[in-house]
Amino acid sequence: MTSTTSTPPASNFLRTIIEQDLANGTYSDKRWAGKPGPASVQKQGALDTARIRTRFPPEPNGHLHIGHAKSICLNFGLARDYGGACHLRFDDTNPEKENDEYVNAIIDTVKWLGFSWEFQTETNLYYASDYFDYLYEFAQALIRSGDAYVDEQTSEQVRATRGTLKEKGVNSPWRDRPAEESLALLDEMRGGKHPDGSLILRAKIDMGSPNMNLRDPALYRIRHAEHHRTGSKWCIYPMYTWAHPVEDALEGITHSICTLEFEDQRPFYDWILEKLAALGQLNHPLPHQYEFARLNLSYVVTSKRKLLMLVQEGYVSGWDDPRLPTLVGLRRRGYTPEAIRLFCERLGVSKSSSHINHNMLEQALRDDLDPKADRRIAVLDPVKLVITNYPEGQTERCVAPSNPHNPDSTSREFPFSRELWIERDDFLENPPKKYFRLFPGNTVRLKYGYTVKCTGCLKDENGRVTEVHAEYLADTKSGSAGANAVKVKGTITWVSAAHAIRAEVRLYDRLFTDPHPDSGNKNFLDSLNPNSIQTVQGWLEPGTHADPGSLWQFERLGYFIADTIDSTRERPVINRAVTLRDAWI
């Protein structure tokens, strides 16, 4: 599983549905005016050249996370594979929590993941708030046709009369009021004459329906709130379940793909669209909603509310903290768009929800980086190794492949000298069995350098090793004729002390110790991992330029990235993206 080259995508139930729709010509009569709009606009358009239309509809109330990546890869991927268009639509119908900073970050992130909302000459970037006028007109049409009414009950009364799964609901006393009254009241609601929560517009469906979502659901509520795009123009805002089908229809979406929680909303989705089509507001063919299982990843939380809390209360350094499952965080951690797409591809698409092990995300990163990341040596917990029989001041050139798994890669060079940095745990004065690294009397290979024989160590007054001593065996240099003359069981990495580059290295671990930090009644803050970041001062191979975003494999240690915010060549700051092997099994 080391290849990221494109293999044909695995089939799934959504692909099957799309292929059937294409074979049956379900959408072949669909007209598209080149921009969103109701029937009157669309019927003037030509036949739609996009064979399907999907959409990714984030609410700009937070940053995107790995769960969103699944939906992005799915929607944009299907459109790409079937000659269609995928719209990026900001579902900004909830004024209080939305803002432009999130809008811009989401745009950047979807682009970074490698997707585009351009289709032929179209730029399919939309805002639900641009449809507020249409939604209002459609609501009026529903009132006129007897399919909606303004309810004056309090929110407690509305809740109390909704019924239960076993009991039917009770009709509102305002349910059969004349359409003119509801129209006038809706107009007053819009005009700001009523306080928040005093009136709602409801669809008139069936208070006895076994599906609770069809018991006269709300369409509009009053919210005297400033909107990030429409300002104070509106003080009524559409409910998500009302706005969403309309947004899809105005945009000519064919396959509206959402997560399973919305399955019970599908009858309402269809009810709205059929009504509006019957009223001449929308054209057939109408969008259809399909549901798939959301991504639940172990050891993370993805609820935006919880992520916001971690950020606001300072448990992490920001939305882009490398420990968060946000896409800006994963990016800073060293995740590549290719790795995230590979992960989403491997996830597949299904209708049964399950928890995905975090290892799977990490493995996708290793598999993506293995063939492309240049190798370097770093020593993160350094202790001096002195080659006592090597002349002071002398250096020798060592050559190593930049990437042994990439036949096109070049080689790199670095000096060998008398004093080296090695990892502290590569020396033990009294080793256990099967320890093949340095201990007095043992011979090991210094990777790409010489074979050395350990002769002892120096210690401080606390017994801590301060210096390890060894003698090199002449004629054993890697690449030379005698390299394999002396057999060794251990190979260790090193950097020349006089030449190595000092670096701050941030060793990240999982943010939570519990695989399901927020399941059941658990408080996710209780399982925060106190050791989720450890900062060390290490040494890097000479020639390792820590320009922000540079990625390497540090041999034996893992994949690392120069931090995109804090790193410079002069003062490298390096993040550990992932270890070479999984330490959690």
Cα-based distances in Å from 241 to 126, 273, 402: 18, 12, 54
Tell me the backbone φ, ψ of residue 379, rounded to 5 degrees: -120, 115
Of 162, 223, 294, 346, the active-site residue reads: 294
Q: Name the token pair of 103.
A: 């809008």
Cα-based distances in Å from 71 to 94, 339, 406, 515: 21, 15, 32, 22
Among 303, 388, 466, 537, binds ligand ATP (CB under 6 A): 303
The least CB distance from residue 492 to ligand ATP, in Å, is 43
Q: Tell me which stretch binds ligand ATP (CB under 6 A): 53-61, 204-212, 308-316, 432-440.
A: 53-61
Among 94, 172, 254, 302, binds ligand ATP (CB under 6 A): 302
Which residue, 344 or 373, is less far from ligand ATP as judged by CB? 344
Which residue, 104 or 303, is less far from ligand ATP as judged by CB? 303
The answer to whether 86 contacts ligand ATP (rule: CB under 6 A) is: no
d(CA 455, CA 473): 13
Site for ligand ATP in 250-269 (CB under 6 A): 258-259
The least CB distance from residue 310 to ligand ATP, in Å, is 13
Which residue, 98 or 370, is less far from ligand ATP as judged by CB? 98
The answer to whether 70 contacts ligand ATP (rule: CB under 6 A) is: yes
The least CB distance from residue 70 to ligand ATP, in Å, is 4
The answer to whether 58 contacts ligand ATP (rule: CB under 6 A) is: yes
Among 80, 144, 294, 447, binds ligand ATP (CB under 6 A): 294
Among 53, 63, 68, 323, binds ligand ATP (CB under 6 A): 68
Tell me the backbone φ, ψ of residue 359, rounded to 5 degrees: -55, -30
Rg (CA), the chain: 31
| Contact in structure between 216 and 175 (CB atoms under 8 Å) | yes
Q: In terms of DSSP bridges, do strands 573-579 and 396-401 run parallel, antiparallel, or are they unpaired?
A: unpaired
d(CA 428, CA 438): 6
Which residue, 103 or 143, is less far from ligand ATP as judged by CB? 103
Q: Name the token pair of 392.
A: 């002071």
Of 55, 190, 304, 510, the active-site residue reads: 304
Q: Which residue is nearest to ligand ATP (CB)?
A: 67
| Contact in structure between 420 and 495 (CB atoms under 8 Å) | yes
The answer to whether 67 contacts ligand ATP (rule: CB under 6 A) is: yes
The least CB distance from residue 297 to ligand ATP, in Å, is 8
Q: Is 53 helix (H, G, I), strand (E, B) or coil?
A: strand
Catalytic (active site) residue 304: yes
Cα-based distances in Å from 21 to 28, 51, 52: 9, 10, 9
d(CA 48, CA 28): 8
Which residue, 304 or 332, is less far from ligand ATP as judged by CB? 304
| Contact in structure between 326 and 63 (CB atoms under 8 Å) | yes
Q: In terms of DSSP bridges, do strands 451-459 and 443-446 run parallel, antiparallel, or are they unpaired?
A: antiparallel
The answer to whether 533 contacts ligand ATP (rule: CB under 6 A) is: no
Tell me the backbone φ, ψ of residue 557, rounded to 5 degrees: -110, -40
The least CB distance from residue 335 to ligand ATP, in Å, is 17
Residues paired with residue 363 on neighbouring β-strands, in sequence order: none
| Contact in structure between 48 and 304 (CB atoms under 8 Å) | no
Catalytic (active site) residue 294: yes
471's enclosing H/E stretch is strand 465-472
Which residue, 202 or 304, is less far from ligand ATP as judged by CB? 304
d(CA 415, CA 280): 78
Q: Tell me which stretch binds ligand ATP (CB under 6 A): 66-74, 152-160, 369-377, 492-500.
A: 66-74
The answer to whether 340 contacts ligand ATP (rule: CB under 6 A) is: no
Cα-based distances in Å from 44 to 173, 218, 347, 496, 509: 43, 32, 41, 73, 57
Size of the site for ligand ATP (CB under 6 A): 14
The answer to whether 59 contacts ligand ATP (rule: CB under 6 A) is: yes
Q: Tell me which stretch binds ligand ATP (CB under 6 A): 134-142, 151-159, 300-308, 369-377.
A: 300-308
The answer to whether 518 contacts ligand ATP (rule: CB under 6 A) is: no
Q: Tell me which stretch binds ligand ATP (CB under 6 A): 57-65, 113-121, 135-143, 229-237.
A: 57-65
Q: Tell me which stretch binds ligand ATP (CB under 6 A): 242-250, 299-307, 404-412, 517-525.
A: 299-307
Other beta carbons less than 10 A from residue 230's beta carbon? 15
Question: Which residue type, as a one-letter code, is found at position 516?
Answer: H
The least CB distance from residue 356 to ligand ATP, in Å, is 10
238's enclosing H/E stretch is strand 236-238
Binding mask 389-408 for ligand ATP (x = CB under 6 A): --------------------
Among 50, 105, 295, 373, binds ligand ATP (CB under 6 A): 295
Which residue, 72 or 377, is less far from ligand ATP as judged by CB? 72
Burial (CB count within 10 angstroms: exposed 0-12, middle 13-18, buried 19+), residue 195: exposed
Which residue, 55 or 506, is less far from ligand ATP as judged by CB? 55
Cα-based distances in Å from 362 to 114, 162, 337, 343, 557: 20, 46, 13, 9, 14
The answer to whether 57 contacts ligand ATP (rule: CB under 6 A) is: yes
Catalytic (active site) residue 453: no
Which residue, 298 or 302, is less far from ligand ATP as judged by CB? 302
Of 31, 35, 59, 306, the active-site residue reads: 59
Which residue, 41 or 308, is less far from ligand ATP as judged by CB? 308
Q: In terms of DSSP bridges, do strands 200-203 and 218-222 run parallel, antiparallel, or are they unpaired?
A: antiparallel
The answer to whether 516 contacts ligand ATP (rule: CB under 6 A) is: no
| Contact in structure between 66 and 196 (CB atoms under 8 Å) | no
The least CB distance from residue 315 to ligand ATP, in Å, is 17
Which residue, 93 or 544, is less far from ligand ATP as judged by CB? 93
Cα-based distances in Å from 119 to 22, 47, 48, 76, 366: 18, 15, 11, 11, 33
The least CB distance from residue 88 to ligand ATP, in Å, is 11
Interface contacts to ligand ATP, rule CB under 6 A: 57-59, 67-68, 70-71, 258-259, 294-295, 302-304
Active site residues: 59, 294, 304
